[in-house]
Structures are given as C-alpha cells and as structure tokens.
Amino acid sequence: MTVDNDLEGQIAEWRAYIHRRRELHHTDAEELEDHLRSRITELTEAGLRADESFLIAVKRMGSLDELSREFAREHSERLWKQLVLPGEPDAPTAARSRRELPVMVLCAAVAALAIKVPSWFGVDLSGDDDAGFYARNASLFALPALAAYFAWQRRVGLRVIGALALLFVLGAVAANAYPLADDSQTMVLTAIHLPIALWLVVGVAYVGGDWRSDRRRMDFIRFTGEWLIYFVLIGLGGGVLTGITVNAFAAIGLDAEGFIQSWLLPCGAMAAVIVSAWLVEAKQSVIENMAPVLTRVFTPLFTATLLAFLVAVVWTTNGIDVERDALILFDLLLVIVLGMLLYAISARDLTARPGLFDRLQLALIVSALIIDVLVLAAITGRITEWGFSPNKTAALGENLVLLANLAWSAWLYLGFVRGRMPFARLERWQTRYVLVYAGWAWAVVLAFPPLFNFA
Amino acid sequence: MHITKDLVAASATPLVLGILAEGESYGYAILKQVNDLSGGQLEWTDGLLYPLLHRLERLGHVESAWETPAGGRRRKYYRITDQGRAELAEQRRQWAAVVDALRGVWSTTQSIKPITAPAWGAGL
C-alpha cells in the first residue's frame, strides 16, 4: 500500500514539474502521464520495484528540456515570441539577454536621430517644401534600426544581413531617385507602399532569415498585430505627454511647440517603433495576444454591419455610389476583414473542431466578398471613363489582390467548417500569400512611377 | 546496432502512419509496436512521439479523440484520415525508390561487405 502511495506521490511530483512548462498544455501533460503509467505498469509486471520502474520510465520519456523544445517547435502559437527556442541556459545567452535592453535603447536612439539627420543638411522637417521628402522616407528612418535590432537578436548570418541592407538601399533609391513631384499621385503611393515593403523586409530579420518557414511567417504576423497595438498605446501616452508639456510651459509663459514639433514628435515616433517591437518581444506574457482578443470582439459586430449593409442594398435596390474614394473605402474594408481573419487564425488551436465562431468568420468573409464584387461590377463600367491614373490602378490592383486572397480563404474555410480540410491549409495559404503583398508593394514603389511618367 | 538520429527521424512518419493504418491506437501502444516491428533496433525517446503525433494531427493526416475504456484511464486515441492514407502511400513510394537505389548500390559494391547482412534484409 505504501509502495503505491509512494509511486503516486512521485508521479504527482513529476506532473507538477511538467505543469511548470508553459510549452506543455494540460492535455499534453495528461497524455504524457498516461504514457508514463503504462510504462511503469509494464516494468513492474516484468518484476521491477515501483520506484525503479518510475525512474526508468521517466528516463525513457526523455529530458524535459528536449521535450518542451519539441513541443514548442510544434505548437509555436503557445509561445510564439521565442523564435530562438529555449536552448540550454548557457552563459552567453544569459549575457545576451542582459545586453538586450542597452541594444534596444541604442537602436531606438539611432532611429530617433536618423530623422534629424536631413535637417543638418538643410532639409527642414517643419518646412512645407520638404514635406514630400519626409513623407517618402518616413519608413527609412526607423525600420533599418528595427531590422538591425532583430538581426542582432536572432544572430542572423552575413548573407541575410547583406540581403537586408540591399533591400533597404533599394527602397531608399526608389524613394529618392525618381523625380517625384510633392503633389503627384505616385509620390503618395510611394509614401504608402514603401513602409509596407520595408516592414516585410523587417519580417525577414524577425524570422532570423528563415523566411521560407510557414510557422515563422505566422509568428511575424502575430508580432505585427501586437506591435501595432503597442505602438498605438505608446502614441496615446505620447499625446498626453505632449499636451501636458505644451500647457505646463505655456503656464510659465514659454512656447514649447517648436521643440515638440521638431524634436519630441518625430524622434518620439521613430523611437516608439523600436520600443514597441521590444515590448512585444519582452513583455509578451504580460499583455498576451491582444490582436486576437480584439478580433473576437469585433468579428460579430462587423459581420452584423456587413450583413445589414447587404440587406439594405437589396431592399432599397440602391446601387453603390462609386465616388472617387469608393474603391479606397472598400479596399480598407477588405484589409480589415483580412486582418480579422489573420488574427483569428493566429491564435487558433489548429486541431480544434469548427465551432460557431468559425461560421461567423466565414459569414464575414463571404459578405465582404459579395459587397466587393458589387463594387467592382459598378466600377468596371466607369473605369474606362476615368482612365488608368496611378491612384486608381493601385486601388484596383489592391482590391484584386485582397479579393483573390479572401475568395480562396472562403473556399478553404468552407472546406474546414464542413470537416473536409484541416485548418492548417488555411494558415499555410495566408502565410504564403505574404509574398504576394511584398511583390505588390515593391511593384508599386519601383514600377509605378516610371509607368505613369511620375504623374 | 545503433541507428542514427536522422534515419530514426526520417522513418518516424511512415512508421506511425503505417501503424495507424492498421487501426486506431494510442501513444504507448504505437511505441511498443515500433519496438516490436524493428526487433528493438529503432530506439525512440518516448516523449518525442507526442510532438510528432500532434504535428500529423495539425497537418490533417491523423485525428484524435479522448476515450475512456471501461474501468480504465482516460486516453487519447489517434486515427488515420483519408489524407493520412494518401500521405502514407506517397511516403511508401518514396521509400521504395530509396530502398531500390540502395539495393543497387549494395550489389555493385560487393567489395564492401555488410558485417551483419540479415539486418538490412529484415529491416527493409
């Protein structure tokens, strides 16, 4: 009897030890415990004593470090931030994590100073003449520093560093070599698309050069969502800081606005890019996966809105008024729907069975698709009338890129909801499609200005 | 004889799928069967079978369900899917090609005699 109690005590201790690992979920622990018990039973039947059997069974299970590393590799959604999976806690790693903060501060300082460099050469931030220069180059101040931070943290190889540098140089050349007038459409397009293209370049650094891996790409998508949330939060805090600074100095008769406009705002925004990234990496367990939470809140609301809109279109038989900005509005709608799809995927337990939320998500995608097809149908008639200006071509191209993604996603989702396809197919489709966004963003930045004569 | 880690890893998927093709099973029983099939030559670290099973589940090759046999412990059973069977057939074709190629090599290089010839014949 006491032998049994001893054994149970030992197993309970082992279980507690397993539960301390974040990589291993409760059900995994249960599955492993079943295995352990089976092994112990077999060994005791073969004539070993209970405690001997326990020791051998634990030993055969393999080292817990190795085990959790394998589980983490398979279930990266559980602790997606650990790109460098928990290795043996050797001395260099510990020293490295101590250096993490100073390196981050250094990168943030470089980003903050980078935006001031042009003003030393007479390109003034507050001057109206040079607004175009800053709009085109905004992403070139902070993102190289961010990429450098990740390159350092992930210890990427020289070839990857070379490729990253080359892409940033290419971006800089594209933004500045073309003779783009400040009020031209292609200038605005470059200002919008270059950040997207370069953000995906940062992604290459984020995944440590392993950009072919679907799971690593998914990690980057998760990172992007969390980063955006932290960035907005820091922005809100910055707004409060700005307001207090202005008013406090105004109270003693000093005008702080000049300082705020030329230093606090630009430098703060650039540094916030790096600090947000660092926060996502370091504090990931504090605010965990906000983007998926927001997605769960807003998916039903957006679905209801879109369905109501569709019903209204049918009921009133009002055609959609395709004004100049209609395409951009519906592009935004598709982006939002896609974002909600992405962040629903990113936090999903991939083996869970389809539930109510999945049907809701499918309804959201399908209604967005129907609306978009209506808009496209209304617009094709008028596109000849407008002609292909850079803006319209870009908006139409984006619409098609997103439409293709969502249409195939809806198909895969339908297969999943009907139990015909594993969810992983949908995840793989989304992570592979990232390449299309990169291709499109670079095409707009590199090919549009010459195609449209820098209009 | 010690079989290298790479070979063990490469053969793990077809072995597990092959065993599950015979009927549903659970982790410990799968491991026992691998052991029996290989005459104790293939040594897996017990725990590492589970991440593999979870990966196969994510890819849709197998599906799982918790079941409680009468008077027994709750246990997670794995079952192969149609997609898993297709994958198994594909793996089988690939392995056949590898084995054929190896056979060719063994017969042309007669000078290098395997030390324990039966192991290869039985294993493959």
Chain A touched by B103 (CB under 8 Å): no
From A61's Cα to the closest Cα of chain B, the distance in A is 5
Backbone angles phi, psi at B25, to 5 degrees: -155, 175
ipTM reported for the complex, 2 dp: 0.76
B100-121 core/surface letters (b: 16 or more CB in 10 A; e: else): eeeeeeeeeeeeeeeeeeeeee
CA distance between the termini of chain B: 15
Using a CB-CB cut-off of 8 Å, the residues of chain A touching B25 are none
- Residue A212: pLDDT band (50, 70, 90) is confident
| Residue A166 pLDDT > 90 | yes
Contact B50 A75 (CB under 8 A): no
pLDDT at A88 over 50: no
| Residue A85, pLDDT score | 38
Q: Determine, for residues B28 and A425 on separate chains, whether the beta-carbon distance falls below 8 Å.
A: no
Q: Does B76 touch chain A (CB under 8 A)?
A: yes
User: Distance of CA A399 to CAs A373, A393, A402, B26, Å?
Assistant: 10, 10, 5, 48
Contact A91, A106 (CB under 8 A): no
**Per-residue confidence (pLDDT) for residue A89, from 0 to 100:** 39
Long-range (24+ apart) CB contacts under 8 A made by A447-451 are: A448/A186, A448/A189, A448/A190, A448/A390, A448/A393, A448/A394, A449/A178, A449/A180, A449/A186, A449/A190, A450/A178, A451/A390
Question: Collapsing DSSP states into helix, strand and coil, what is residue B4?
Answer: coil
The type of residue at A445 is V
φ/ψ of B12, rounded to 5, equals -65, -50
Cα A61 to Cα B14: distance, rounded to the nearest angstrom = 22
Residue A91 is predicted with a pLDDT of 42
How confident is the model at residue A143, as a pLDDT? 93
User: Does B67 reach chain A within 8 Å, measured CB to CB?
Assistant: no
Is B83 strand, coil or helix?
Answer: helix
Among the residue ranges A178-182, A218-222, A274-278, B16-20, the one predicted with the least confidence is A178-182
Higher-pLDDT residue of A99 and A104 is A104
| Other beta carbons within 10 Å of B20 | 24
To the nearest whole Å, the CA of B58 is away from the closest chain A CA by 6
Instruction: Give contacts of B72 with chain A, Cβ < 8 Å.
Output: none
**CATH code, B5-123:** 1.10.10.10
> Chain A neighbours among B 29-58 (CB < 8 Å)?
31, 45-48, 50-51, 54-55, 57-58
Partner-chain contact A34 B27, CB within 8 Å:
yes
pLDDT band at A98 (very low <50, low <70, confident <90, very high): confident
The average pLDDT across B56-70 equals 87
Distance CA A52, CA A132 (A): 75
Q: Mutate which of A67, A70, A431 to test chain B, going by most B C-beta atoms within 10 A?
A: A70
DSSP class per residue in B34-62? HHHHTTT-----GGGHHHHHHHHHHTTSE
CB A376 within 8 Å of CB A407: no
* B75 conformational bin, left if phi > 0, alpha if psi -120 to 50, beta if neither: beta
A189: closest CA among A367, A426, A449? A449
Mean of the per-residue pLDDT values of chain B: 84
Q: Is B57 close to A351, i.e. CB distance below 8 A?
A: yes
Smallest CA-to-CA distance from A205 within A165, A248, A254, A256 is with A165
What residues of chain B lie within 8 A of the CB of A215, using their CB? none
Among B32, B45, B78, pick the best mutation site for testing chain A contact (most A Cβ within 10 A). B45
What does the alpha-carbon distance between residue A307 and residue A345 come to, in Å, rounded to a whole number? 22
The mean pLDDT of A314-331, rounded to a whole number, is 73
pLDDT for B122:
44
Q: What end-to-end distance do the CA atoms of chain A give, in Å?
A: 88
Task: Kindly list the domain boundaries of chain A, sorted by start residue.
Answer: 2-74, 103-282, 290-422
Which has the minimum average pLDDT: A40-49, A86-95, A295-304, B98-107?
A86-95
Nearest CB among B58, B60, B76 relative to A31 is that of: B76
Share of residues in chain A with pLDDT > 70 (%): 88
Mean per-residue pLDDT, A272-296: 76
Chain A closest CA to B100's CA: distance in Å?
31
Average pLDDT, chain A: 83
Q: How many CB pairs under 8 A join A and B?
A: 68
Q: Which of the four pLDDT bands, split at 50, 70 and 90, describes residue A2? A: low
Is a pLDDT exceeding 80 seen at residue A357?
yes
Distance CA A170, CA A438 (A): 14
Q: Does B23 touch chain A (CB under 8 A)?
A: no
Q: What is the pLDDT of residue B89?
A: 94
The pLDDT assigned to A284 comes to 57
pLDDT reading at A286 higher than 60: no
C-alpha–C-alpha distance, residues A80 and B40, integer Å: 37
- For residue A354, is pLDDT > 90? no
Question: Nearest Cβ partner of A424 from B47, B59, B76?
Answer: B59
A77, A284 contact by CB (below 8 A): no
Q: Give residue A448's pLDDT.
A: 86
Gap between the Cα atoms of B106 and B113, Å rounded: 8
Q: What is the 3-state secondary structure (H, E, C) of chain A?
A: CHHHHHHHHHHHHHHHHHHCCCCCCHHHHHHHHHHHHHHHHHHHHCCCCHHHHHHHHHHHHCCHHHHHHHHHHHCCCCCCCCCCCCCCCCHHHHHHHHHHHHHHHHHHHHHHHHCCHHHHCCCCCCCCCCHHHHHHHHHHHHHHHHHHHHHHHHCCCHHHHHHHHHHHHHHHHHHHHCCCCCCCHHHHHHHHHHHHHHHHHHHHHHCCCCCCCHHHHHHHHHHHHHHHHHHHHHHHHHHHHHHHHHHHHHHCCCCCHHHHHHHHHHHHHHHHHHHHHHHHHHCCCCCCCHHHHHHHHHHHHHHHHHHHHHHHHHHHCCCCCCCCCHHHHHHHHHHHHHHHHHHHHHCCCCCCCCCHHHHHHHHHHHHHHHHHHHHHHHHHHHHHHHCCCHHHHHHHHHHHHHHHHHHHHHHHHHHHHCCCCCCHHHHHHHHHHHHHHHHHHHHHHHHHHHHCCCC
Bigger pLDDT: A78 or A175? A175
The Cα of A204 is separated from the nearest Cα of chain B by a number of Å equal to 25
Q: Which residue of B has its CA nearest to A423?
A: B58
pLDDT of residue A83: 37
The conformation of residue B70, written as its DSSP 8-state character, comes to T
DSSP code for B65: E
**Amino acid identity for residue B85 in this structure:** R
Please check the confidence at residue A1 and state whether its pLDDT lies above 50.
no
- pLDDT at residue A274, as a whole number: 92
pLDDT of A287 higher than 80 = no
Q: Given this model, what pLDDT does residue A147 score?
A: 93
Partners of A421 on chain B (C-beta within 8 Å) are 60
Residues of A with CB under 8 A from a CB of B: 27-28, 30-32, 34-35, 37-39, 60-62, 66-67, 70-71, 73-75, 350-351, 421-422, 424-425
pLDDT, residue B112, reads: 59
| pLDDT(A201) > 90 | yes
Q: String of b and e for A133-151 (b: at least 16 CB within 10 Å)?
A: bbbbbbbbbbbbbbbbbbb
B5-45: per-residue pLDDT in tens? 888 888 899 999 999 999 999 989 999 998 888 888 887 88
Task: Tell me whether residues A350 and B58 touch, CB distance under 8 A.
Answer: yes
Q: pLDDT digits over A329-347, tens only? A: 888 888 899 988 888 888 7
Least confident piece of the model among A191-200, A274-283, B64-73, B115-124: B115-124
Contact across the interface for A31 and B83, Cβ inside 8 Å: no
Residue B113: which pLDDT band, with cuts at 50, 70 and 90? low
pLDDT given for residue A232 in this prediction: 93
Which residue does chain B place closest to A36, by CA atoms? B28
**Among residues A240, A242, A234, which one has the least CA distance to residue A272?**
A234
CA-CA distances (angstroms) from residue A68 to A23, A86, B58?
Answer: 6, 9, 18
Mind telling me how many Å the CA of A423 is from chain B's nearest CA?
8
Instruction: Say yes or no for a CB contact (<8 Å) between B46 and A39.
Output: yes
In the predicted structure, residue A82 carries a pLDDT above the cut 60: no
